[in-house]
Structure 1
């Protein structure tokens, strides 16, 4: 029953009717009508629902979807992601910040509303738009010149197939935890290949079945400013100019 399944999935993803309507690009009143069985969505809307919940249309109209997901019998079990979010007083999604110290706990609490509620929250109006955003503090030098301690703001990726090769992403996986890398899709679509911007680090693969979440990097926040690069020729020129200035001062004396 679509009406029962839609309401169940919306609550599992912690979405309000308004938020789901925005993702589906329809009126909120239609969500209520679908959940109460007073109307049936068009095929194009059903397809969008499948994309939002990472489920095929057949599963959306399954007569026993809640039980099949809870028992793990769904054939798409590995693709089901229950994304917990928080909203402000105006029902707008927050950007939750996952500090590096909370990274380990995030793997256990990413779908736990109580864990998410305890994370710091903020908003960036200049990048707010369709989709869900989250921020992660990174550590290490594998993505230099972006330094350790930088906060990466990412948009949640519902379909990893839509990500272009070379896109910087936060990858949350059972294998590696939380890492910031450029991702490349493998031809057989069984794994993602992760590349560092720092060439001293070798690329490696993460199995798709181990990927919990994928966040496309949209912005970063850092308290460290990049050092200006001065070439040897430029440095030599500066030294010569200083020597000329010194000579002029000696002559004037």
Structure 2
């Protein structure tokens, strides 16, 4: 990242939002002197701070460091798609891998999702049934909030560039600064300021995540699990089985 690129954009965005250096520092939870150092090109922020900056200004990281940012804003075409810079890996045939984010790596993923070195360390695989354009990633989920999909299941998701394109009720992996990595069905708020997250397990109440906190959105396309679902037995079938068992018991009594 070019230091001058960020320093120019940061100063422009801060003034556009009528924020002082102190106010911006409070939002980012850092010292005011660091804001001055960033704007003067004397220092570069850590990745986690860079992500927070992008969220504060409601844009993606790549837009934040875009040298054409002031011109895009003037033309009205700035941050129209919520596109994020994703680090990806490819195989020997230059095909994108599916990187697996184990549950234990969830916390590290939030800070390293745009770090090529972090992504290189993740397990990788390919699925023949996953075809077509798009970037795919797999996330191991924990908990029972999306039963009957059990804890430990791996959800394979396709990266969503525009959250506005996702239909209500779509199951998604949501990566946010507020909640980390969660698997939920998403619903859009009418005021477009938050996403409402619903669990399939009715014992869990829906809740909201501010769009400003959403880092990534992955539409669930497949899942991998070592647990097989229990067969559903209708009441009529269950009654029939009980009657058959009673008849077998009666036969045994008669024989004895």
TM-score normalized by the length of structure 2: 0.68
8 Å contact from structure 1 (residues 185, 192) kept in 2: yes
Shift of 1:246: 3.2
Do structure 1's residue 123 and structure 2's residue 126 form an aligned pair?
Answer: yes
Q: Retained in 2: the 8 A contact 1:196–1:202?
A: yes
1:66 equivalenced with 2:62 (yes/no) = no
**How far apart are 1:201 and its partner, in Å?**
0.7
Corresponding residue pairs, total: 191
Determine whether 1:194 maps to 2:174. Answer: no
After superposition, where does 1:133-212 map in structure 2 within 5 Å? Answer: 133-212=136-215
CA RMSD of aligned residues (A): 2.8
Shift of 1:242: 1.8
Task: Give, in whole Å, the separation in 1 of the partners of 2:66 and 2:241.
Answer: 72
Contact 2:112-2:119 within 8 A present in 1 as well: yes
Q: Deviations over 1:130-156 (max 9, x none)?
A: 000000000000000100000000000
Q: Gapped runs of 5+ residues in structure 1?
A: 1-53
Task: Answer yes or no: is 1:227 the counterpart of 2:226.
Answer: no
Distance 1:164 1:80 in 2: 18
Please name the residue that 2:86 is paired with: 83
CA drift of 1:179 comes to 0.3
> Aligned partners of 1:232, 1:170: CA distance in 2, in Å?
35
**TM-score (normalised: structure 1):** 0.68
In the alignment, structure 2 segments of 5+ residues that lack a partner are: 1-58, 71-76
Query: Distance between the aligned counterparts of 1:94 and 1:137, measured in 2?
Result: 16
Q: Is the 8 A contact 1:170 1:180 kept in 2?
A: yes
